[in-house]
Structure formats: structure tokens, C-alpha cells
């Protein structure tokens, strides 16, 4: 029994076959961590970025369109970054005692982490960012903006996501994610399931020519690509939030304190506000659920104080997700992480707000970050579900789950 639902694996492959047989328009999205690991399933050495071949394989499997979850990772930065700025402005205006009581804002893109807060730390529900995960944002965008652009009825679209994650299979069924009476993501295939399909259909993956994602929701900045690793959401958010608050770029694009595979990382960022004094943003990053739980107990006890905390339930973040290829290589997480950093460096734009397709979607559809329409389609709510689990008797989880 997994308390966060992250080890539940139910195959959704039959849903895809049924949708193809029904003649639906098939739209796939692929997460940042999948392109650096799918090759391991299909004869490509670990640590290579296989984005173009992955898109080509999905087209060969019958997808009409393949769009990029990294695009909605950029959208997440716009929405979550705006929310962070607004929370921080209130916090910086408060007294130190009031600011302490406010606590940090937590990221919300990992469904296992969200389940964990809802069941074990419901007193922190208001601290979770209301931004939906990039996968769920993409579902909303595909069945509204993209459907309209392509002149397809939303009900004729079958939209599935290829994820490194088994918990994502449960996230698509959250009732808070139903939009306009519709489920926005119809199925989730893990990286391993995609590998299985590619092999079953005898697709020669290494020999495939590179294919491109479909526009106008297929372009991503390097920031969006970082979501596949621990520290990536933080680094991506800092690139945009710092620039908005300070009116100038963060000195370095590769923010070293957020990098690497440590289970807990922390740092302070000094932000010279463009219209005021210099303020400090205290950041925390946890990967692996036991590290996150220990960090939570420290926060509650006042032993750690942060303003913005990124949590990913899997060791190393999504690159070590439950749906990723199994490997006996002791350096596998390092290799996948290095591939993600390379993918960031190769991007034409490195910051979410500089992605031209992000600028276009706000201009044509959402208006501005955190607008009414953005709240309706890109944000969510949470519920106290503490009654579903027996609470542990101690204030540490080390005896339950070994820290990484």
C-alpha cells in the first residue's frame, strides 16, 4: 500500500487503441523527463535526449498531433510565478511574526506530493500553489484553445499524456480537474508503456528521423525543460520571477544551488526590487517523499523557514519516477539529469516568459497570468483528506521510508 498512490500502475493502453478504432483525433503530450529516458527502452544509450525520435514514434503509432508538456511547464511558471510574486508582496509587507505564520508557498505539479499534503499535512493546503500541473494545464489547453485553432470539437479529441509517473494516472480523475463538464486528459501512459508499444509495433526507434512537436503548443523554453529534475521548477521559476521583481535578469541562468541530486537543497536569493529595497527569498527543495515529510516537520516546528518550496515525491524528481525504465546502472539518475541540463542549454529561449508561443496564448486566449480565464482553466483546489490515512505517531518519517 502506497500512502500517496504513486505506485499504483494501471495500463491505459487499451483506451488508446479504443480511441483510434473510434476514429477520434489523437493528441499526445510528452513530459520533460520522458525524452531523456525513452531511449533506454528502445536501444539508445542512457543519457541521450531523444525528443525528435519520440515525437516520430508517437506519430508512427497513430497520433494526429504531438504537443509538448514543456510548453505548459512554461505556462505553469507564468501562473505559479505570478502567484508567488503576489504572495511575497503580501509577506514582505507584513510584520515578521505575521510573515512567519504565512509559511512558504509549495509547488503543486507533483500529484503524489499533493496527495501527501491533503492526507498528512492538511493544515498546509492553503500554502499549495493553486496552479494545476503542466500535464493538466495541457489537457485544458488542448480541449479549448488548441481544439478551436484546429477546428476540432473537444469531444472528438482523445488526449493522452506520456509521463514518467504512475501517480499521474490518478491525477486525471481528480474531480477538481473536470473542466466544462469534461475530463481534459483521457489517459496516461508511462515511459515504460510507451517503450512497450514501440517494441510491440516493431518501430526501429534509433533509425527514426527526428520529428517536431505541433504548434502552437509545441515550443518550450529551457526553463520548461527543467521540470523533469529535482530543483528544475525552482530554477525555472527564479529565472522569470527574479526578472519581473528586479527588472533585470538573475545573474546566472544555471542556478547552482538548485542543481544536483541531493534530497534536500536550500538557498537564499537576494532580490533588489526594481521599485524598492532588496528583499530575500528563502528557497527549499525536497525530492523523495521521506525528505519532504521530514522537511515539513521541520517547517512546522520552526526549525526551517522558507518562502518558496519545491517538492517532488520521487528521488531526483520525475527523472526517477515510478513509470520510468528500470535500470541497474547506479549512475542512471545522474545521466538523465545531465541530459535535462543539456536540453535546457540547447533551447533557443531559456526563460518561460520569452517563449513566443506562451506570449501568443496570453495575447489570443488567456489575457494575462492569473486572469479569470486562467483561473478557470489552469488552476485548481484541494481537499482535506486526512481521514483516509492513519497518522504516524512520531514527528519523523525516517522509520517509515528511508531518506535518499
State the residues that interact with ligand SF4 by CB under 6 A: 6, 110-112, 164-165, 167-168, 312-314, 317-318, 321
Here the cell at position 278 is 532588496
Q: How far is the CB of 169 from ligand SF4 (least distance, A)?
A: 10
Determine the residue with CB nearest ligand SF4: 321
Strand-strand pairing, 157-163 and 25-30: parallel
What phi and psi, each to the nearest 5 degrees, are found at residue 279?
Answer: -120, 160
Host H or E run for residue 134: helix 134-141
Residues 6 or more apart from 177 whose CB is under 8 A from it? 132, 136, 139, 171, 183, 184, 185, 380
Q: How far is the CB of 98 from ligand SF4 (least distance, A)?
A: 32
Q: How far is the CB of 161 from ligand SF4 (least distance, A)?
A: 11
Here the cell at position 234 is 525552482
What's the number of CA atoms in the CB half-sphere (13 Å) around residue 376?
11
SS3 285: strand
Nearer to ligand SF4, 269 or 319 (CB): 319
Host H or E run for residue 237: helix 232-246
Nearer to ligand SF4, 290 or 349 (CB): 290
Please provide the distance, in angstroms rounded to a whole number, between the alpha carbons at the two ends of the chain.
20
CA atoms of 34 and 40, how far apart (whole Å): 10
Q: How far is the CB of 318 from ligand SF4 (least distance, A)?
A: 3
Nearer to ligand SF4, 27 or 33 (CB): 33
Q: How far is the CB of 396 from ligand SF4 (least distance, A)?
A: 21
Q: How far is the CB of 399 from ligand SF4 (least distance, A)?
A: 22
Nearer to ligand SF4, 103 or 164 (CB): 164
Return the number of other C-beta atoms located less than 10 Å from residue 291's C-beta.
Answer: 25
Amino acid at each position: 500500500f502506497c500512502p500517496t498512490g504513486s505506485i499504483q500502475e494501471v495500463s491505459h493502453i487499451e483506451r488508446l487503441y479504443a480511441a483510434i478504432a473510434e476514429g477520434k483525433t489523437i493528441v499526445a503530450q510528452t513530459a520533460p523527463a520522458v525524452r531523456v529516458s525513452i531511449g533506454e527502452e528502445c536501444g539508445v544509450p542512457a543519457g541521450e535526449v531523444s525528443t525528435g525520435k519520440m515525437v516520430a514514434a508517437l506519430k508512427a503509432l497513430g497520433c494526429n498531433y504531438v504537443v509538448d508538456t514543456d510548453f505548459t511547464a512554461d505556462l505553469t511558471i507564468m501562473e505559479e510565478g505570478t502567484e508567488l510574486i503576489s504572495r511575497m508582496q503580501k509577506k514582505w509587507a507584513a510584520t515578521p511574526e505575521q510573515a512567519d505564520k504565512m509559511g512558504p508557498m509549495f509547488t503543486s505539479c507533483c500529484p503524489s506530493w499533493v496527495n501527501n499534503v491533503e492526507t498528512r499535512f492538511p493544515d498546509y493546503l492553503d500554502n499549495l500553489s493553486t496552479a494545476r500541473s503542466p500535464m493538466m494545464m495541457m489537457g485544458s489547453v488542448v480541449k479549448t484553445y488548441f481544439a478551436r485553432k484546429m477546428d476540432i470539437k473537444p469531444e472528438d479529441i482523445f488526449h493522452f499524456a506520456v509521463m514518467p509517473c504512475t501517480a499521474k494516472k490518478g491525477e486525471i480523475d481528480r474531480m477538481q480537474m473536470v473542466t466544462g463538464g469534461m475530463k481534459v486528459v483521457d489517459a496516461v501512459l508511462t515511459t515504460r508503456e510507451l517503450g512497450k508499444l514501440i517494441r510491440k509495433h516493431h518501430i526501429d526507434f534509433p533509425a527514426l528521423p527526428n520529428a517536431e512537436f505541433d504548434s502552437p503548443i509545441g515550443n518550450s523554453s529551457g526553463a520548461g525543460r527543467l521540470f523533469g529534475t529535482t530543483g528544475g521548477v525552482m530554477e525555472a521559476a527564479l529565472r522569470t520571477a527574479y526578472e519581473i521583481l528586479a527588472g533585470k535578469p538573475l545573474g546566472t541562468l544555471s542556478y547552482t544551488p538548485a542543481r544536483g541530486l541531493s534530497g534536500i537543497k536550500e538557498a537564499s536569493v537576494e532580490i533588489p526590487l526594481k521599485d524598492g529595497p532588496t528583499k530575500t527569498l528563502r528557497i527549499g527543495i525536497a525530492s523523495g517523499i521521506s525528505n519532504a515529510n521530514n522537511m515539513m516537520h521541520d517547517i512546522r516546528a520552526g526549525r526551517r523557514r522558507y518562502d518558496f518550496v519545491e517538492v517532488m515525491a520521487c528521488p531526483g524528481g520525475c527523472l526517477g519516477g515510478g513509470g520510468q525504465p528500470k535500470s541497474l546502472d547506479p549512475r542512471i539518475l545522474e545521466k538523465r539529469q545531465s541530459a535535462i541540463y543539456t536540453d535546457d542549454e540547447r533551447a533557443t529561449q531559456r526563460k518561460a516568459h520569452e517563449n513566443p508561443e506562451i506570449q501568443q496564448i496570453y495575447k489570443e486566449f488567456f489575457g494575462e497570468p492569473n486572469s479569470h480565464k486562467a483561473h478557470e482553466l489552469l488552476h485548481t483546489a484541494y481537499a482535506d483528506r486526512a481521514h483516509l490515512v492513519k497518522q504516524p505517531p512520531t514527528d519523523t518519517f525516517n522509520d517509515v521510508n528511508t531518506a535518499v
